[in-house]
Amino acid sequence: MPSVTSLAWYAFHPTQLRSIIQWKVWHNPVHERDERKDSETLKRCFHFLNQTSRSFAAVILELHPELLVPVTLFYIILRGLDTVEDDMTIPLEEKEPLLRNFQDVLEQDGWTFNDSGPNEKDRQLLVEFDCVIAEFKKIKPAYKTIIKDITKRMGSGMADYAANAEHNINGVNTVKDYELYCHYVAGLVGEGCTRLFVEAGLANAHLLRKPELMESMGQFLQQVNIIRDVREDLDDKRRFWPKEIWSKHVDKFEDLFEEENKDKALACSSEMILTALNRADDCLYYLAGLKEQSVFNFCAIPQSMAIATLDICFQNHDIFKKNVKITKGDACQLMIESSQNLQLVCDVFKRYVRKIHSKNNPHDPNFLKISIVCGKIEQFIETIFPSQKPPVDVKNPASAEEAARLKAQALEARWDNIYMVLAVVLTIVVITGLMLIVAYFAGARFDIAWVQFKQQLGELLFSTAPANASINATADHSEL
Amino acid sequence: MAPTKVLVTGGTGFLGSEIVKALVETSMFCITAIDINPPSLGTSTFSDVRYIRANILQPEELQKVLNEARPDVVIHTVGVYPLGAARYSMKGKEAVFEINVEGTKNIIEASKECGARALCYTSSVTVVLDELESEFRNVDERWGTGRATTSYGQSKAISEHLVLSANRPDFATCSMRSAPIFGPHDPATIPTIHGCIAKGETPFILGSNTNLQDYVYVSNVADAHVLAVRNLLGPATAAGEAFFITNGEPITARDLCIAVWKEFGHVPPFQVGIPEGLAWWLGLGAEWWSWVSGTKGTFSRGVILDATKTRYVSIEKARRVLGYQPRVGLPEALRISCQHFKQQWKDQAKR
């Protein structure tokens, strides 16, 4: 039941409520799932999916039946790997080999792991990992190969970080390290998903030949999460913002969170947001390569959420105090717009990029660069969905001869007009003259006509007195 | 094989001297620079470049210079544009047309006569974009010229057409439609924007500030010319073609201004938005005032339209055909340019 305060809030934000109602009422999953036929172990897998990530579960559960199970398994396997990596209670000598060989675990029937720390929220997943392995055995070999390959590479990447003592103390150093970290935890997911889509025939194989696009898909989401979660990560004693960036603004990472360093902290967050925004156009390009609606929704919804999240994080000092979130109404609106076609997603990006641009602060050291990246995204959208067509009546050529000809033409036209007026005037004069002569010969009395004309004119101009005179005059002449 | 001989008209000017520099850096060319002015103080000249004084409006004199230099390629950069309110109207048309159109005619004739194999012409995005009332979003070279409503845009469109229609298998021509150019020694863009600081105009935002526009750094335009010359003498895929040349980084005019002001250590103390509609009337009022008072104002409806309309182009064709890539990005370019002006004004103040 919604609280009184939230009801009051919605009373003043009716569009938010409208979006939520619209989404709840009108959204139909592209593919409906029939749960009754699922095996017990698969039901368990879906249970874990729902538990680990509500936002991702929503999009995964609507996926094309061909990919539903493989992607679900892919997701929870990586979540299992992540749980091992995060767990600081597992000693390194045990953790490192486990991370490096996690792909082999997938082939070991009945493998489970009970040594996770008591505070790991997904520890139950590892305790019942045999369910995952049982389902993994049933999917197509091609999908298994892809999932194992990604698991292996992600596991060894995580192991490298776990074994790197410096990283554990100081966090991420350079921007390159930062992007490499994001590559292991997210870029590889982008690659795995893309390979699954292409294998299932639901995405253009061309996407595999442009690896930077799928990399950007993962990087964009991960970087946005890292920006948004900066406070939460600090409280968990983790630090993903690279030193190369924050050291330009403050001496100690913790200084970012001090109230007196507000401007420096905002400048630092702008630089992080700028780094993420550089990936946005790649993401839109990637989405253009997807063929199937449910796959499109699966990819597009998180991207739209990410750009909206960047917007609320931009120039917002609250990110250093608490976890900021987009409103539920905005989230529903984004889901409505991101589950239809690329053009609407581009509109979403354009809208949020403009919002970001409007908040760009002239004092920010990266003011110009942010302005440029915003322009770049807008120009990119314009290249895929041009809003203007070349004019049909191409007014070419504009040559010197053409100009001279036009000028001569204009001159000619002017004289034409003069001749025309002269001819009309002349005709009227001649005809009037002829009529007058004919009338004269026929005995017309122009002298009388003239006097009458003057009288009538006088009548028109002066109302009373001259009117009498005119009567007299008329009487005089009538005798003739 | 003797090095290819290149002649640059306007070779001591803002863009021309940068093109000469870019040509020298390739060490592939034997260069002649002609100009109505001798190299000005402070600009760099090169010892192995021949500088000749010539007026492109004197056909006989020009022909003599070209016959003597016998260039393989001519790069024609000479052009004038009216400053202030006249930039956006048809005022002063004759003077602009004389240099931009007649001058170009003379260059085409003289180049053909002296046996040059190629001609590269410095045009302007205004051939398309100077239809001031319209908006242009990411337009490309398919858009026709000849709709320009300003004397500058029209003169450039006409002369560009003269150049492109002179294209023959033995006389390859192309046209570089450059966006507004800035850089060190830049006579207009940066000094004008800088001037707003003293006049206290920096807090006012004209229009919505969402309208993207293009600019280009002078050395990038020079690069494009060198690429075009090499293309015309080589595969000649650029022959008879026009190309938009910009920095490929469209931003709003407001943001460019802020970036320039920041380089001079100024950030607007506050910001006030003036809606497009109101700005138009202010522009009209300013025009009337300058008409009544007989003074020459800088503010006009043309300026307002220029500042509030979306006007940016695609440089895909230049990338594809010429292999053009803007080497100096806007942040770097603005830093270099403003640094130069700061130094120059400091030196002037000392004297």
A409 versus A61: which is more confidently predicted? A61
Q: What pLDDT, on a 0 to 100 scale, did the predictor assign at position B41?
A: 57
Query: Chain B residues with CB inside 8 Å of A402's CB?
Result: 158, 161
Residue B84 falls in which region: left (phi positive, over 0), alpha (psi -120 to 50) or beta: left
Instruction: Return d(Cα B149, Cα B301) in angstroms, integer.
Output: 13
Crossing angle for the helix pair A188-199 and A65-86, nearest 10 degrees? 160
CB contact under 8 A, A358 and B251: no
Letter string b/e over residues A137-160, b meaning 16 or more CB atoms within 10 A of that residue's CB = eebeeebbebbbebbbbbbbbbbb
Q: Is 80 exceeded by the pLDDT of residue A395?
A: no
Smallest Cβ–Cβ distance between A375 and the set B135, B136, B250 belongs to B250
Burial A51-75 (b: 16+ CB within 10 A, else e): ebbeebbebbbbbbebbbbbbbbbb
- Nearest CA-CA distance, residue B163 and chain A, Å: 10
In the residue annotation, A298 being an active-site residue is answered as yes
Peptide bond preceding A397: is omega within 30 degrees of 0, i.e. cis? Answer: yes
| Residue A321 reports pLDDT greater than 90 | yes
Q: Is the pLDDT of residue A270 over 50?
A: yes
> pLDDT value at position A394?
56
If you average pLDDT over residues A160-189, what whole number do you get?
Answer: 87
Short-list A111, A125, A134, A138, CA closest to A50: A125
Residue B333 C-alpha, separation from nearest chain A C-alpha, in angstroms: 12
pLDDT at A475: 44
CB nearest A396 (choices: B138, B145, B154): B145
A421 touching B (Cβ < 8 Å): no
Residues in chain B, total: 351
Predicted pLDDT at B175: 97
- B179 has a chain A CB within 8 A of its CB: no
Query: Which of the residues in chain B have pLDDT under 50?
Result: none
Q: Which residue type sits at A450?
A: W
Q: Do β-strands B212-213 and B136-139 pair in parallel, antiparallel, or remain unpaired?
A: unpaired
Q: Look up residue A147 and give its two tokens.
A: 């999932």
- Hey, what CATH topology would domain B4-181+215-246+312-327 get? Rossmann fold (3.40.50)
The whole-number average pLDDT for the span A346-360 is: 97
Distance of CA B70 to the CA centre of its chain: 27
CA B124 – CA B103 distance, rounded (Å): 16
Q: Spell out the residues 6+ positions from residue B64 whose beta carbon is closer than 8 angstroms to its own.
A: none
Tell me the per-residue pLDDT of A182-207, one tens digit each, with 9 for 90 and over: 999 999 999 999 999 999 999 999 99
Residues of A in contact with B161 (CB under 8 A): 396-400, 402
List the one residue out of A210, A223, A339 whose CA is nearest residue A286: A210
Helix, strand, coil abundance in chain B, percent, nearest 5: 45, 20, 35
- A238 pLDDT band, cuts 50/70/90, is confident
- B326: DSSP letter: -
Closest Cα in chain B, distance from residue A373 (Å)? 8
The C-alpha atoms of residue A325 and residue A322 are separated, in whole angstroms, by: 10
Cβ A312 vs Cβ A326: under 8 Å: yes
Measured in angstroms, the CA of B273 and the nearest CA of chain A are apart by 12
The pLDDT, as a whole number, for residue B295 is: 67
Contacts B144 to A, Cβ<8 Å: 390-391, 393-396
A367 contacts in B (CB within 8 Å)? 255, 258-259, 262
Contact A362 B258 (CB under 8 A): yes
Q: Give the pLDDT band (50/70/90) at residue A479.
A: very low
- Does A129 qualify as catalytic in the annotation? no
Residues of chain A contacting B329 with CB distance shorter than 8 Å: 372
Per the document, the length of chain A is 480
Q: What is the pLDDT of residues A148-162, one digit of tens each?
A: 999 999 999 999 888
**Measured between beta carbons, which residues in chain A are less than 8 angstroms from residue B271?**
362
Domain boundaries, chain B: 4-181+215-246+312-327
| A18 is a catalytic site residue | no
Cα of A94 to nearest chain B Cα, Å: 49
* Helices A293-313, A262-277: crossing angle, 10 deg rounding: 160
> Contact, A164 vs A171, CB < 8 A?
no
Q: Which of B94, B121, B139, B173 to mutate to test the interface with A (most CBs of A within 10 A)?
A: B139
- Count of CB atoms situated within 10 Å of the CB of A169: 8
What are the tens digits of pLDDT across the range A82-97? 899 888 888 888 889 9
**A393 contacts in B (CB within 8 Å)?**
144
Q: How many other CB atoms are found less than 10 A from the CB of residue A117?
A: 12
Which two tokens mark A124?
């139950």
Judged by CB atoms closer than 8 Å, whether chains meet at B145 and A390 is answered as: no
Q: Given A74, A181, A220, A314, which residue is catalytic?
A: A181
Q: What is the pLDDT of residue A1?
A: 58
Residue A173 phi/psi, 5° resolution? -90, -70
Distances (CA, A) of B28 to A36, B24, B31, B223, B230: 77, 7, 9, 14, 10
Alpha helices in B70-150 (DSSP H): 93-97, 103-113, 126-129
User: Are B239 and B232 contacting, i.e. CB atoms less than 8 angstroms apart?
Assistant: yes
Q: Which position among A74, A143, A298, A349 bears the catalytic label?
A: A298
Residue of B98, B101, B137 to mutate, interface with A, max A Cβ within 10 Å: B137
CB interface of B with A, residues 254-293, below 8 Å: 255, 258-259, 262, 267-268, 271
CB B101 to CB A400 under 8 A? yes
Chain A CA closest to residue B259: A368
Contact at CB, B268 and A362, closer than 8 angstroms: yes
Give the angle subtended at the CA of A153 by the CAs of A151 and A159, to the nearest 5°: 95
Give dist(CA A132, CA A77) in Å, integer. 8
Q: Which of B285, B309, B312, B302 has its CA nearest to residue B90?
A: B302
- Annotated active-site residue A238? The verdict is yes
Nearest to A375 among B135, B249, B267 (CB): B249
Pick from A222-231, A239-248, A444-453: least confident = A444-453
Query: Which position has the token pair 């990338």?
Result: B319
Q: B194: how many CB neighbours lie within 10 A of its CB?
A: 19
Mean pLDDT on A43-71: 89
Helices (H) and strands (E) in chain A, counts: 26, 0
Task: Specify the residue for token string 């194999």.
Answer: B117
**Minimal-distance CA residue of chain A relative to B215:** A372
Q: Which amino acid is at A105?
A: V
Greatest Cα pair distance in chain B: 65
3-class secondary structure, A359: helix
Asked if the Cβ–Cβ distance from B212 to A391 is below 8 Å, we say no
Tell me the pairing of strands B181-182 and B4-9. Answer: unpaired
In chain A, which residue's Cα lies nearest the Cα of B105? A400
Distance between CA A444 and CA A436 in Å, rounded?
9
What is the phi-psi region of residue B153: left when phi exceeds 0, alpha when psi lies from -120 to 50, beta otherwise?
alpha
Q: What is the torsional sign of CA A293, A295, A296, A301?
A: positive
User: Under a CB-based contact definition with an 8 Å cutoff, are residues A256 and A320 in contact?
Assistant: yes
Inter-chain contact A397–B105, Cβ cutoff 8 Å? no
CB A179 within 8 A of CB A244: no
Q: Element (H or E) spanning A189, and its range?
A: helix A188-199
Residues of chain A by 3-state class (helix, strand, coil), percent to 5: 75, 0, 25
Tell me which residue of B254, B275, B195, B330 sits closest to A360, measured CA to CA.
B254
The residue that leads in pLDDT, A11 or B242, is: B242
> Among A38, A55, A94, A19, which residue's Cα sits nearest to residue A309?
A55
Lowest model confidence (mean pLDDT) among A27-36, A323-332, B131-140: A27-36
Rounded Cα gap, residues A103 and A4, in angstroms: 50
pTM for this predicted structure = 0.84
Burial of A366 per CB tally in 10 Å (0-12, 13-18, 19+): buried
Cβ contacts of B176 within 8 Å, gap of 6 or more: B120, B121, B122, B123, B221, B224, B225, B228, B242, B243, B245
Instruction: Tell me the average pLDDT of chain A.
Output: 89
Residue of B nearest to A359 (CA): B209
Res. A244 pLDDT band, cuts 50 70 90? very high
d(CA B241, CA B175): 6
The answer for residues whose C-beta is within 8 angstroms of residue A50's C-beta and 6 or more apart is A57
Q: What is the mean pLDDT of residues A166-188?
A: 88
Return residues 346-385 of A near B (CB < 8 Å).
Answer: 354, 357-358, 360, 362-363, 367-369, 371-372, 374-376, 378-379, 382-383
Report the C-alpha gap between B294 and B164 in whole angstroms.
Answer: 41
Angle at A233 between CA A229 and CA A234, to 5 degrees: 120
The three-state secondary structure class of B120 is strand
Question: Considering CB atoms only, which of A362, A379, A395 is closest to B138?
Answer: A379
Residues of chain B neighbouring A391 (CB-CB closer than 8 A): 143-144, 147
Paired sense of beta strands B172-178 and B118-124, if any:
parallel
Best CA proximity match to A276, nearest among A306, A243, A301: A306
